[in-house]
Every structure is written in C-alpha cells, then in structure tokens.
Structure 1
C-alpha cells in the first residue's frame, strides 16, 4: 500500500521515503492495538521529527477507516443526555440543521421517538420542536460534531477520494462520522509549517495537500475532524483511541491522558533526555510479560536512525 503513495514537495515528486512508511505503520499499529484493561505505549526516536507525527496520523486514519463501525446508532443516540446539541441533514435535501435534545418518548404501536428543539435562523420558527422516530432515524445523518463548512466539505471530498484510491472503497460514512482517530499534541505552528508545500498522491490521481488528507481541527473546537490537535499547554479533554505526543514538551502530557487508549511518543535524538529515558526504563519494569501476538505487517527492518520501543501496561 505504501508503494502506492508518492510525495510532492514543491516541484519535486518522489516515492514515499522508508522512514515515512515506518511512521505510517507505527501510527496504524498504535491505533489498532486493543486488549481489555491494557494500554500500548510506544516511543519512536528519529534523526528529525519534522513530519513524523503527520505520517503517524496518516497511519491512524488508515487503520481507523478499516475498523470503522457506524458510530451514532439509535442506541448511542438514545443515550445522549437531555440538553445535548446535535446536527443532522434532513431528507431529501442537504441543508444542515442543529438542535437540542429535550427528551424521548414512546407511543403505542410506533415505538420510541426523540424530541429535538430545532435552532433556526427565522425568529418565527425559533423553538420549533421536531419528533424523530426510531424507525425514521436511519434516514437522517446525525452527528454530535458540527458538520464541515462548504469550504471544509470540499477539502474532505479530496481526502475521501485519496483514501478511496489508496485503500479501495472505504465506508462512505467513515470520514463524515463523529469521532477522531487520534489526538496529536504538539507545537501547532511548527506542525502546520512543516506540512506547507507537501502533498500526497496515488497512481493516476491528483495530489492532495498533506494537511487536507489529515482532516485536522483544534481539539477545543466542536467542528468535525478525524484528527484533533492540541498544544501541550492546551486543555486536553476527550476520549481518543490514540494520542501522538510530538516532542519533549508534549511528552509530559502523558500523565493526563486518562481518556486515551494508547500513546505514541515521537522525539528526535537530541530531545531524548534523561527523564524520557527514565520513563522508558520504568515502563519496561511495568510491562506485561505476555503482550499478545506480534503486530501484523511489521516491517522486516526499520530505516537506519529510527529506534522504537513499545510496552503493554495495565491501563490506569
């Protein structure tokens, strides 16, 4: 699969570098690992980490698309607390509506329904209450994240095309469904600067900016995204299958990630300080003796200069 990805950096175009392939695999593995009561903590030390977290994010997206299950089923929707804000598209049009859940009910012979107070721009229609039955639920596309704007929708369409050509046909709901595949904690300005001018393409398809492929948004935003990003000093909240801690400052966030399943720490060689090494030694002592089967698709060798350590520990 990695052989199908090419990189365009300015005017130059070349095959995906081995180090980038390794980071894609690592991000996918860290996204995929799941064992009851366990957490995977991995460390990657590289000569430079300029785009390492970006390609690890790409790996988490690839794995997330494979594991996708339609997220907002009626049972999950039914569990939303009163007062939750939701968004939906109402058939047959494409206009997006928003509203507040004000309760649920049941009618004899027709089953359960949800009652939503719709937010409309027209003052004459403000506070309109709409009832949607369980039987009609699947005709609507409900989310708890704000759908992309028109400009962002165009960006998502490009990303969708990229993943479809890379992976075969993805579930059409995956990219638009609630839930990020990873949280990346990093210096946001530097992360974005490193991506400037870098695009990815698959055979016979137009290039897509790396920043567009990642479908990224700030963690504090309610807007839809598949990767969330936060500064190390940001308010890091939410539940994620993977946190990518990019750099030594981000590393210290690992103590505050109770809502995260697995952790990948990325640093370059000059940043691998004594306190990070002490944590690695501590984790080695805590690691489970039996971490399960070897990860699928592990490369036979990693490119020179990349060192990887990984430990499975009890979740806390």
Structure 2
C-alpha cells in the first residue's frame, strides 16, 4: 500500500476506532495497523521494525495468573493489504500507546456464505461479456476458503496451455497433500492457520495442509472456475455437463478457514499472499456480521487489495 494511502487511513481510522481493554476480550488477538511512514530508514523492513517494537515492550502488564495467553509475540506480519501485524491481547495493550500505531481491531470469526454470481451479474452464456472473455481463459482466480479437494474432475487440466509466466505462487505440501497434486488448472495451494492456533494454543490441526475437510472451499472454487466435466449428475439425476463461472481460468487455493475455526487474521494473511503471488481475481464467500466497513478488518484488507491491483494495472500500461 502506498505511504500516502497509509497516512490517510491512519488519520481517519484513528478517530474512528480505539483500542478498548476489557477482561472479556483478554485472551483475544488484535490486528494492529501501523504508520509505515514512521519506520526508521535504517531498518531492513517492516518485520524487523515490528520485531524491534515488540522486543521493547515490557511483559509486566499485571496479567492475572488464571488467564492463559499465547507466548508468541508476533502472530502475523502483513505487507500488502495492511501495514501491520497480529499480536496477542497482552502485546496489543503494550502497543496501544505507541505513537506509530494507527489503530487496533480485535481478530474476529468469519461466517461462510455463497451466492449466484452469474444471475446477479446478468450474464448470458450465448452473448455479451461472458463469451467475449472466453469464459475467463488464463485469468488466475485466487479462492480464499477452506481448502481444495484436488482429485475433483473440475480441476482437470486437459487441453490447458502452460501456466502464465506472471504467476509467482506455489503449491505447498502437508497432511494428505503434496505439490504434485497441482497442475495447469489448480496452479497453487497454500494454507494459513497461525490465527486459529493463536486463539486455541492447545488445538491439534487435524489436516494441516491445503486439503479441504469442510467442503466449502471445493464447492466455491469449482463454482467460480471449475472446468468442463461431462456426464455429471446428482446420483443419476440432472445429467449434463458441469462447469464453473470461468471454466477457462486457473485456480489458486488459499486455505484460511479451518474445522478448528474461521478467523479474520488468517483470511487477511491469505489475501496478503495472493497479492504477492499475482492473482487477478479474489473469490471469497464469507463475511463478518454486524460491523461497519471502517472497522471490518477484511473490508479494509480487500479495499487495499483493489488499490494494489489498480496500481499494478497502471504500471503495466
């Protein structure tokens, strides 16, 4: 995000949101937005700056011994969607009075959703923007969700050309998932769970990989960009050819929703990585209820993603 944009957000949001300490939120984590323009030029980057600030904080916050707080100082460091970091409540309390902090918001649970995009957009498969775009040929769709089941025929790459050279992402290995499961259709798969682990330090992630155990990610990614699958049916009913909105597009999955919890901090980390990887479109089927846009951490992150994409487009021309 550009420095001038960061200053504008800091100025506006510092008057809109304040860090409020309550015992109820004591074990929560916080997303802390920093004023990047204030970073000392001698430092090598944002991560070293955040680390030095956290290292300077005192651990003596009068913590109650009957409350467990994760020991890790830094949960996430973001560089694209926001200029900031995610820390435990205790660290956020220490940062609250720091002059370089714009504002802090509590990490929140997100709620999965779905939609009927082509109907909403009024698209027609026979004429107009949909067929003219060649149904999304070679567009890279970054899907942020609960992972992917790569064996689905919706991800077969039959007849697809080589992966676009602008792609900078990767296919991460993990439980029941290895990098060979990606192909020319499913070109990337990554996973982010530091947020859910920080909220539940004793949790055991059952499938620590991009593999989908919830089902929602495979559903939304194939709806968005699944390729043509002939003779598809529902137990023999409604026989036909299944396809997504953009069957010619590539899919990059960013698993940020887990059986163990759906947290905004993991979602923002996924958005941050997707921008670095070079996705063209972000597909997200979830949200946070009953929050104004200016205090919704995902809304702020996606606003920055739109600005980043706009700036990249300008630089390409």
Same fold per superposition (TM over 0.5): no
More strand by share: 1
Greater relative contact order (CA < 8 Å, ≥ 6 in sequence): 1
TM-score range relative to shorter protein: under 0.3
TM-score (norm 2): 0.24
TM-score (norm. length: structure 1):
0.24
